[in-house]
Amino acid sequence: MINQDVFSNFKTLWVGLSGGLDSTVLLHLLSSYPELKPKLKAIHVNHGISDNADAWQMHVQQFCQTHHIPLVVERINLRGLSNLEATAREARYRIFQDYVKPDDALVLAHHQDDQVETLLLHLFRGAGVEGLSGMRERTTLFNCQVVRPLLAISRETLLQYARTSGLTWIEDESNTDVSLKRNFLRHEIIPRLKLQWPNVVDKIAMTAGHCQQASDNLYDLAVIDRLPSPTAVGEGLGVRELLTYSEARRTNLLRSWFKSLDIRPPTQAVMNQVLALCEAKVDAMPKVKVGEYFVHRYQGALYIEPPLPKKLAPIAWENYPSPLVIDELQMTIEGIYDVPPGAKVSIRFREGGETIRANGQEKSLKTLMQAWKIPPWRRHLVPLVYVDDRLVGVKYHQSHDRKGVLR
């Protein structure tokens, strides 16, 4: 039922275990493969929403104990919060991130019926090709490698497996609430569609596969159109070249850029604002908010930036010349500067008016940052290396050190 080769390169398989039919079948099925069982670990998130949440937790603990599968349980409380479905999903993935390492996989129990519901929900929201692709068997979400091995299998098949294997599972009472859009599709719409088109679930899932192929082709086109690398620090997208493309091709390139950075693509209204950045005045520095991110225009290029800290406190480099790690910036600074005996080394951040001596001249840091094309919104986070009270170095990039000299 499952292709084991999909999991061959992963060290640990973290299975998201709610205790419902789908995840119970998935974990039981994976544990039936001798090659996979040693890799298995389960994660259960107790959301605290249902009055039965603690009973569900006890159920999954008993299941994992019976089948000798390590289990991690995390408790959160989402009661009283709005938009519970999305909030719970984000909370789960934040927890998953704490456990799933780069060489691990997060294994989820989404199946063919889930795929069809997802595609229809996206269709009714006016989604494009990427949205109509639904879920993928392998993808990356919130920095986790995600595998969904049941996407081609119907819920009915999972139900038959569970009954044949003598499995028990929990039933979330919210699954019958047809005021929720997904449940409305599941209980009211899709059964009626099946009356007219008995194989409609297979056909809609097939459409998702076609859209995935089309989406992949559009991404390949974006790469041809010079899509910035998601691993390139601070790389922008040139506006002049972008304007040589049609609006549709520009939009595809921008959507692919968001996708490569694991950012949810914006609505069409917000995308139109991003496209308008290309037409901004040359000396302007406008920006558009996309979710938690900002798209900036600066010196003829677009940049996508995550939320940045407003200010960082000075850091004493007490073990100089050993490398200094600045966690907030995910940056390491090497001890490459000439320091007299007994001098104090520290990292500070811009206050304004700083100068540095380089090539025999005292130069304004502001002027140098402009020459180095450091965007203004990043300049307050550029580490400045001080020996006692003199600026001797600027670290503006993971691989760029600018050295001054002590006078």
277 and 342 part of one domain: no
What tens digit of pLDDT does each residue of 362-395 get? 889 998 888 888 888 889 989 999 999 889 888 8
Average pLDDT in the 322-338 region? Answer: 86
Among 305, 339, 359, the domain-final residue is 305
Task: Check residue 142 and report its DSSP letter.
Answer: T
pLDDT for the residue 399: 45
**Quick check: is 195 in a domain?**
no
pLDDT for the residue 178: 93
- Domain CATH code at residue 168: 3.40.50.620
pLDDT for the residue 79: 66
145 and 243 part of one domain: no
Cβ(12)–Cβ(101) under 8 Å? yes
Whether the pTM exceeds 0.85: the reply is no
97 and 152 part of one domain: yes
pLDDT for the residue 328: 84
Indicate the pLDDT class of residue 80, thresholds 50, 70 and 90. low
Indicate the pLDDT class of residue 244, thresholds 50, 70 and 90. very high
Give the chain's mean pLDDT.
89
pLDDT for the residue 233: 52
What tens digit of pLDDT does each residue of 16-29 get? 999 999 999 999 99
**Quick check: is 41 in a domain?**
yes
Cβ(154)–Cβ(111) under 8 Å? yes
pLDDT for the residue 90: 83
Distance (Å, rounded) from C-alpha 254 to C-alpha 35?
A: 42
Task: Check residue 7 and report its DSSP letter.
Answer: G
**Quick check: is 333 in a domain?**
yes
pLDDT for the residue 209: 95
Distance (Å, rounded) from C-alpha 371 to C-alpha 373?
A: 5
pLDDT for the residue 129: 93
385 and 264 part of one domain: no
pLDDT for the residue 359: 74
165 and 243 part of one domain: no
pLDDT for the residue 231: 58
Indicate the pLDDT class of residue 338, thresholds 50, 70 and 90. confident
301 and 371 part of one domain: no
Give yes or no for residue 124 having a pLDDT over 60. yes
Among 305, 336, 354, the domain-final residue is 305
CA angle (241, 247, 252) in 5-degree steps: 85
Tell which wins on pLDDT, 110 or 340: 110
What tens digit of pLDDT does each residue of 37-70 get? 999 999 999 988 888 999 999 999 999 999 999 9
**Quick check: is 209 in a domain?**
no
35 and 153 part of one domain: yes
pLDDT for the residue 332: 87
Domain span at 239 = 225-305
86 and 231 part of one domain: no
168 and 72 part of one domain: yes
Total domains, the chain: 3
Lowest mean pLDDT segment, chosen from 137-141, 161-165, 171-175, 305-309:
305-309
Average pLDDT in the 157-186 region? Answer: 94
pLDDT for the residue 316: 92
44 and 17 part of one domain: yes
Cβ(394)–Cβ(401) under 8 Å? yes
Phi, psi dihedrals of residue 322, rounded to the nearest 5°: -60, 145
**Quick check: is 49 in a domain?**
yes
288 and 236 part of one domain: yes
**Quick check: is 156 in a domain?**
yes
Among 305, 335, 365, the domain-final residue is 305
pLDDT for the residue 335: 85
**Quick check: is 202 in a domain?**
no
pLDDT for the residue 37: 95
Average pLDDT in the 347-366 region? Answer: 87
Task: Check residue 371 and report its DSSP letter.
Answer: H
- Domain CATH code at residue 246: 3.30.465.60
Distance (Å, rounded) from C-alpha 25 to C-alpha 23?
A: 5
Tell which wins on pLDDT, 142 or 345: 345
Phi, psi dihedrals of residue 78, rounded to the nearest 5°: -110, 5
Average pLDDT in the 324-342 region? Answer: 85
**Quick check: is 220 in a domain?**
no
CA angle (250, 255, 261) in 5-degree steps: 130
Indicate the pLDDT class of residue 214, thresholds 50, 70 and 90. very high
155 and 69 part of one domain: yes
